[in-house]
Amino acid sequence: MDIKKIVAEMTLEEKAGLCSGADFWHTKAVERLGVEAITMSDGPHGLRRQEEEGDHLGMGGSVPAVCFPAGCATAASFDETLIYKLGEELGKECRAEGVNVILGPAVNVKRSPLCGRNFEYYSEDPYLASRMAAGYIKGVQSHGVGTSLKHFLANNQEHRRMSSSSEMDERTLREIYLAAFEEAVKEAKPWTVMCSYNRINGTYAAQNRKFLTDVLRGEWEFDGFVVSDWGAVNDRPADLEAGLDLEMPSSFGHNDARIVEAVKTGRLSEEVLDQAVERILRIVERSRQGKKTAPYDKEAAHALARKIAGECMVLLKNEGVLPLSRETKAAFIGEFAENPRYQGGGSSHINSFKTESAWELADKTHVTYAQGYRVKEDGTDEALLKEAVDAAKKADVAVVFAGLPDSYESEGYDRTHMRLPENQNALISAVCEANPNTVVVLHNGSPVEMPWVDRVKGILEAYLGGQAVGGAVLDILYGDVNPSGHLAETFPVKLEDNPSYLYYQGEGDRVEYREGIFVGYRYYDKKKMEVLFPFGHGLSYTEFALSDLKVSAERIRDTDILEVSVDVKNIGSRPGKAVVQLYTAPPKEGIIRPVRELKGFAKTELAPGERKTLHFALSKRAFSYYDAETGEFRAPSGRYGIEAGFSSRDILQSCMVELEEDRPPGTRIGMDSIFLDILKKPEAMPYVKEIVAKMDVEGAGSGESMGEGTKEMLESVLGYMPLHALVSFSGGKVGFADIEEFIRKLNESGIF
C-alpha cells in the first residue's frame, strides 16, 4: 500500500471520515482506494468481540471466549514471560476472530484501593506496571495483531471520569503516572495508545498536545495512532491538532463535518489531518498481515487460563495449615466456592465459554460445602451461618471463600470503603470460633481490610482469577502448584492509611494528587507505617534464601550501566518459584525521595537445594528522580543502596555504590542565593571570606544574653541568609555594589 499516494488521492471528506469509526468497533473502509476497515475489540484479559450491535459498557452480548485472570492478578505473577504467553494466546484468538487491535493492556497506577477499575490495572508501582504491559504488548503483537495501551493519562478513579481533572506537579507526572506507560511504549511499541476521558491539569487528555504529541511521539518515539477512549472526544478539530488521530466509536458524521469545515475555514491545517490519516493507514497496512485464521482451541486456552491463575495467586499467610492433603476433611464455605467471582464489570467483561468452581472440581468424598452467605446481600442469613458453623465444626480445615460482590467494584464507579460485606466478615469470625484451622480464599480486584487476619491460619489472595479460577485454587490448596504470586500493591491496614485518602475523588472535578510521588509503598515505607501486607509480599510452600549480592563497580558515573547479581537458593523441600525484587535506595540528603524504589525483578524456578545466580542491569534511570527545574531525569551524585529481597519490607541483601553525576546542571549565583548553597562548593570559601570580612562581625556571638548555641545560631543565620540581606545584616557596611561584585566573581570562577 503506497500510503502517501492514497492520502493524496483521498478527498477531504474521505480523510475526515477516516478519523472516526464506522460503528462501535470498526474504522471506515475506503473501498475505491482499497483501504480496508480494521476491527477493534475489548480486552484486556480476554476477547469481548461483539458481532452486531456494540456497546462499551459490557452490557451487550459478545462472542463466547476465554476469560483469563484480570490485570490485578497477572501483575502479581511478577513474570513478564508469563504475560507474554498470555499476550500470544490473545493474539492468536484475535486472529481467529478477525480482530486487528485488542483494547489493552490497561496500566493506570493504583493510586487508591478504591478505584473501581483497579481490577483491570496492574500495580501501584509504575516500573512493574510498565514491564507487565511490555510483556503483554509484545506477546499480542507477535501475532500481527495490535494493542491499545490505555488509558493515557492519569485516569486513576472512575468517579466523574469523563470530566474530572487530575491535578499534579510535573515530577509526580513523570515519575509515577507517565512512567507506567513509558517503558511499555519505548520498548514494546504498541500499535495504538488510547487516551483517557479525564483532564490532566485542566486539559482533556484527548486535547492534550503536551502528552499526545510532545511526550508520546516526540520523547518516546511512538509511531502508531492515538485512539480516543470511547466517547472521549470533546472538540474534534482541537483534538486532531493535539495528536488524537482516531475518534471511537462513530461520530455519526457530525465530527467528520466539523473537520471538513475546520479545514475549509483554516482553523485546522490539512497537513495535520493528512498526518492523522497516514498514521491510521499505517496500522491498516500492518493489520493486513494478521488475516483471519482457523478457530482456536478453547479447551487448551482454558487450561492455560488455569495455569496462569496458579502463577498469580498470592499466599498471604500460612501458619502450617497449607497445603492440604487429599485426605483432609475440608469444609468449603461461602457462595464463591460454588460461584466464584473471577472478573470485573464493564467493558472488559468476557462472555466465558465455561467456568469452573472449586466446589465443582472438589473431591466430594473429603470435602463438604456450605453456602455461608448470599453474595447479593450484605446482611447475615442466620440459617446459612449456622449451617456453615456446623460444617466447620465437623471438618479438619475450614476454607472460607470470600471476596467482593460484583456490585462492589466495577468500571464506572469507585468503591466507597475497603471492607468486605458485613455478612462475610461475620461468617469468617464465626468459622474461626468453630474451627481453629481456618483458611480464607479471597476473590477481589483490590485490597480489602481483614479484621480477622490474626485469627485465621491461612489466606490465599486469588484476585479475579479468570474462568478457570476454581481449578487453580484447588491446585494451590492441595499443593499441586506451589504459590509464587507476590503483591503488586500494598494492602494497608485500613483505608485511612492510604496516602491519597485525604484527597481521593477530589472536589467536584478538581482532583489534586497532593501525595505527589508518594504512592503505595513509596509512602508507607517512608512513614514506617504498619501495613497489612507489604508491596511485593508472597509466600511459598518452600523457602528461599538470598546471598552474594554483587555489583560490577562500587563507584560509577551516571552514564555507566551497573551490573548486579544475587544468588537465590531453594532451602526448603519442594520445588518452587522465587520472585527476587531489586530496589535502589537514593541518598537521604538533598532531594525528598522514597526510601526505595523497585528497579528490577526476576522470577525463577528452583528444585530443593538448587541455587541460581540472577543478573540485573541498572542504568541512570534506576537512580534518577525528575528534576522539574531542568526538565530531565537526574541521578545526583551520592551514595545509593542496592537492595535485594522478597518484598519492599523484606530486604535481605544490600550494598552501597557511590554514584557521580556526569553533568550536574550548573547553578547561577544571584541575589537570592544563600551562603549554605554557595559553601557546598568548598572552593568558594575564599570569596565568601572576603565578603564576610567586610561585614566586620568581629566579636559578634560573644553576647551572653543570647545563651547557649550562639555560635551555631550565627552560623545558621549566616548560612540561610540570601545575599541581598547582607546589606541590612552588616549594618550597611556591605553595599549592593559589593554584593554584585561578589556574585560576578563567583559566576566567573567556574566553580558552579
Q: Which residues are catalytic?
A: 229
Residues 295-354 contacting ligand BGC, CB under 6 A: 347
Nearer of residues 98 and 231 to ligand BGC, judged by Cβ: 231
**The binder of ligand BGC chosen from 97, 229, 335, 558 (CB under 6 A):** 229
Interatomic CA distance for residues 96 and 98, integer angstroms: 6
Residue 501 · residue 495 · CB < 8 Å? yes
User: Rounded distance, CA 109 to CA 156, Å?
Assistant: 7
Nearest in space to 29 (alpha carbons), one of 37, 17, 19, 38: 37
Non-local CB neighbours of 146 within 8 Å, separated by 6+ positions: 100, 101, 102, 140, 190, 191, 192, 224, 283, 286, 287
Residues 6+ apart with CB under 8 A from 405: 341, 375, 376, 421
Report the residue number, 42 or 738, with the smaller CB distance to ligand BGC: 42
Parallel, antiparallel, or unpaired for β 491-492 and 531-533?
Answer: antiparallel
Write the CB contacts of 245 (distance below 8 Å, at least 6 apart in sequence). 19, 225, 226, 227, 276, 279, 280
- Is the CB of 230 or the CB of 373 nearer to ligand BGC? 230
Least spacing, CB of residue 366 vs ligand BGC, in Å:
43
State the nearest-atom distance from the C-beta of 231 to ligand BGC, in Å.
7
Closest contact distance (angstroms) between CB of 346 and ligand BGC is 7
Helices (H), 39-78: 71-76
Exposure b/e, 616-636, CB count within 10 A at least 16 = b: bebebebbbbbbeeeeebbbb
Query: Using CA atoms, how far apart are residues 39 and 312, in angstroms rounded to an integer?
Result: 31
Please say which residue, 229 or 489, places its beta carbon nearer to ligand BGC: 229
Binding mask 21-60 for ligand BGC (x = CB under 6 A): ---------------------x-------------x----
Please tell me the count of residues contacting ligand BGC according to CB under 6 A: 7
Considering the complex, what minimum distance in angstroms separates the CB of residue 56 from ligand BGC?
Answer: 3
Q: How far is the CB of 246 from ligand BGC (least distance, A)?
A: 13
**409 near ligand BGC (CB under 6 A):** no
* Cell numbers linked to 457: 491460619
Q: Which is nearer to ligand BGC, 232 or 333 (CB)?
A: 232
Looking at beta carbons only, is 123 or 584 nearer to ligand BGC? 123
84, 181, 204, 230: residue in contact with ligand BGC (rule CB under 6 A)? 230
* Rounded to 5°, angle at Cα 485 from 484 and 486: 120
Q: Is residue 103 at the binding interface for ligand BGC, with CB under 6 A as the rule?
A: yes
Q: Please, which residue, 42 or 475, has the CB nearer to ligand BGC?
A: 42
Which CB, 347 or 435, lies closer to ligand BGC?
347
User: Least distance in Å: CB of 153 to ligand BGC?
Assistant: 13
What's the burial of 159, exposed, middle or buried (CB within 10 Å: 0-12/13-18/19+)? Answer: middle
Determine the Cα–Cα distance for residues 480 and 483; give it in Å rounded to an integer: 9
Give the residue closest to ligand BGC by C-beta. 56
* Residue with Cβ nearer ligand BGC (146 or 458): 146
Q: Cβ 590 to ligand BGC, closest distance in Å?
A: 40
CB of 251 to ligand BGC, least distance (A): 15
- Shortest distance in whole angstroms from residue 284 CB to ligand BGC: 19
Is-contact 308 68, C-beta < 8 A?
yes
Which burial class, exposed, middle or buried, applies to 607 when counting CB atoms under 10 A from its CB (0-12, 13-18, 19+)?
A: exposed
Please state the closest distance from residue 60 (CB atom) to ligand BGC, in A. Answer: 10
Residue numbers 503-532 binding ligand BGC by CB under 6 A = none
Q: Which is nearer to ligand BGC, 43 or 458 (CB)?
A: 43
Half-sphere exposure of 704 (CA within 13 A, CB side): 0
Closest CA to 171 of 503, 560, 638, 591: 591
Q: For residue 478, what is the DSSP state? A: T
Residues in region 363-402 near ligand BGC by CB under 6 A:
none
Is 397 in a helix, a strand, or coil? strand
User: In terms of Cα–Cα distance, which of 38, 30, 28, 22 is closest to 6?
Assistant: 30
Show the site string, 116-155: x = touches ligand BGC by CB under 6 A, - = not: ----------------------------------x-----
- The CA-CA-CA angle for residues 699, 700, 704, to 5°, reads 100
Sheet holding 562-570, edge to edge: 544-551, 562-570, 611-618
In angstroms, the CA 306 to CA 473 distance is 9
Residues that bind ligand BGC in the complex, under the rule CB under 6 A: 42, 56, 103, 150, 229-230, 347
